[in-house]
Amino acid sequence: MAELTQNEKRLLGVLEKERKADAKHLATLLDATPESVVQWAHLAGDKGLVSLDRVVDKTFGYTDEGKDYLKHGLPESQLLKFITRNTLLVDLQKHGSFKIGFGQLRKKGLVIVSNGMVSKADGASTSADEAALKNPQTGDPKTKELIKRGILLETESVRYIISLQDEGLQLLRQGLDLREEIGTLTRDQILSGAWKTSNFRRYDVTKLPKKAYPGKVHPYQRIIAEMREILLEMGFEELYGGIVQQSFWNFDALFQPQDHPAREMQDTFYLRESLPLPPGYEKVKAMHESGGGTSSTGWGGVWKEEKAEQCVLRTHTTSVSIQHLAKNPTPPVKAFCVGRVYRRETIDTTHLAEFEQLEGIVMDEGVTFGNLLGILREFYHRMGFEGVRFKPSYYPYTEPSLDAEVYVEGIGWIEMGGAGVFREEVTAPLGINYPVLAWGLGVSRIAMLRLGLKDLRYLHRSDVAFLRQTPALRHTKGSV
């Protein structure tokens, strides 16, 4: 049997003596409202301890009209008294109760009218009607009629009779702990020591209450934070830079030829704004046109200033790292940047026009392509990827170039990002005299894997339910 509440116990307690009683009566005994008592009786009734009977009582009352008749008699009674052997109708019409009373008398056949004279029928009496008025009875036709005439009012009232059942009696005989029960532990109970003599109400501990949702960072943010942490541990300094970049820093300084397809309007978001070129830009111009005195041939053709001045939404964070290198040409430089980058792509489940890129650079005396592979292997290992491999690739501003692939259980080898050594065409015009290792990766790729997302848009137009339900731990290190 389910646990009895304290109130059910109290109800059983009083019923031990009363056995059967009206809820109202029990309510006074229990110092509660009858409604509460009925509610407790329901609970105890479900357990078969008591029975609960619903009794409907009808009671009668009087309308204002009825109250008046109770005092002075029904109109037909008053009129009947007035009628003698031969009463003139015209005289009768002067009586205050004529309108209602006369109609009733005729309807009941208590008067006879002939030749302007009114006389009582034999044995005419309204005593039965008066009796019904004074003492209405359920089912009495006279009473019904008075109700119909709007003289009497019939109201229903419900009573509950609660009676102790055998099972309840047995339980009482076994003895009930009737000490006070504590629901919410109050300050008073704690301080007064009342808790010592009280019972703590037992709860259903398996029943989940209304859910609590913690405030938390976005699962994608957690992945970004994890990558930042790894690079900080690996001794990298973090960079932060603008979303809006000059074409010069986004493309030209990275030796991207001015007629390169990636620079066209259909691949890059251009802005109407232009910014003046930085001092020393001529060296970049010379590099593009003729190789700037290095072993390079350059791209040939004419390099146009206006094209380089135009602002774009950065297509990679490399535009930020290259400016950092130009400002800090003294080795060693180990830096990284995570930020939103933009490609003019039609948005669908796997392509977004904006996404996070992580990018790192190492500039130092004597660093090699082999060191770059070493950094990447270390980074991906720390991200939880055991299998890492490299294959040749092509990026306009690195030589040699590579793509890194990681092994994911159940999927296979997945391309994770590109890397390479900055071309001399990139470093020489900016006065950078040491090799620069550079790599980048799309953060959303890892997020998709970790979160099992089928649609990248979900990262940025998230369902709150998804964010609430996604546990924090799933996205921490080493748990792809």
Partner 1 sequence: MAVITLPYKYLERLTRTDKKTILDKIALIGSDVERVEEDHADVEFFPDRPDLFSPEGVARAMRGYLGIETGLPSYPVKPSGISFTVDPRLVDIRPVLGAAVIRGITFDDESIQSIMSLQESLHWAVGRGRSKVAIGIHDLDTVKPPFSYIASPRSRKFVPLDYTEEMSMDEILEKHPKGRDYAKIVRDFPLFPLIVDRDDHVLSFPPIINGERTRVTIETKTILLDTTGTDRRAVGVAVNIICTAMAEAGAKIESIGIDGVQTPTLAPAERTVSVQECSSLLGVELTELTMAELLKKMRFGAVPAKAGYVKVQIPCYRADIMHDWDIFEDVAIAYGYDKIQDLPPKTFTVGKPHPVQVYAALAREVFCGLGYLEVMPFTLTNEDVLYTRMQRVEKKGVLHVMHPISIENTVVRTELLPLLLEFLALNRHRELPQRLFTVGDVVDSCLTYQQAAGVSTHPDADFSEAYALADAVLHELSIDYTINESADPAFIDGRRGDIIVAGNLAGVFGEIHPAVLNAFELEHSVAAFECDLRAVPGYPGT
Is 129 or 425 the residue whose CB approaches partner 1 more closely? 425
Q: Which is nearer to partner 1, 87 or 427 (CB)?
A: 427
Q: Smallest distance, Å, CB 305 to partner 1? A: 18
- Distance of CA 70 to CAs 65, 66, 67, 131, 190, Å? 9, 6, 5, 10, 62
Q: Would you say 34 or 242 has its CB closer to partner 1?
A: 242
Residue 387 beta carbon to partner 1: minimum distance, rounded to whole angstroms: 12
Q: Which is nearer to partner 1, 167 or 364 (CB)?
A: 364
Nearer to partner 1, 183 or 301 (CB): 301
Burial readout 333-344 (b: 16 or more C-beta within 10 A, e: otherwise)? bbbbbbbebbbe
Q: How far is the CB of 203 from partner 1 (least distance, A)?
A: 23
Which segments of 291-338 does DSSP mark as H helices, in order? 305-309, 318-327
Asked if 287 and 296 count as a contact pair (C-beta separation under 8 A), the reply is: yes
| Closest CB to partner 1 among residues 52, 243 | 243
Is the distance from CB of 263 to CB of 256 less than 8 angstroms? yes
Kindly give, in sequence order, each residue whose CB lies less than 8 Å from that of residue 282, ignoring residues fewer than 6 positions away.
none
CB of 211 to partner 1, least distance (A): 8
CB of 260 to partner 1, least distance (A): 9
Could you tell me if 357 and 442 are in contact, meaning their C-beta atoms sit under 8 angstroms apart? yes
Name which of 133 and 224 has its Cβ closer to partner 1: 224
Smallest separation (angstroms) from partner 1 to the CB of 297: 5
Of the pair 187, 272, the CB lying nearest partner 1 is at 272
Long-range contacts of 255-264 (CB under 8 A, 24+ apart): 255/287, 255/288, 255/396, 255/397, 255/423, 255/425, 255/426, 256/396, 256/397, 257/288, 257/299, 257/301, 257/396, 258/288, 258/299, 258/301, 258/303, 258/304, 258/307, 258/308, 259/301, 260/396, 262/315, 262/396
Q: How far is the CB of 407 from partner 1 (least distance, A)?
A: 14
Pairing of strands 117-120, 111-114: antiparallel
419-422-427 Cα angle (round to 5): 160
Measured in residues, the chain has a length of 480
d(CA 152, CA 390): 100
Task: Give me the least distance between CB of 366 and partner 1, in Å please.
Answer: 7
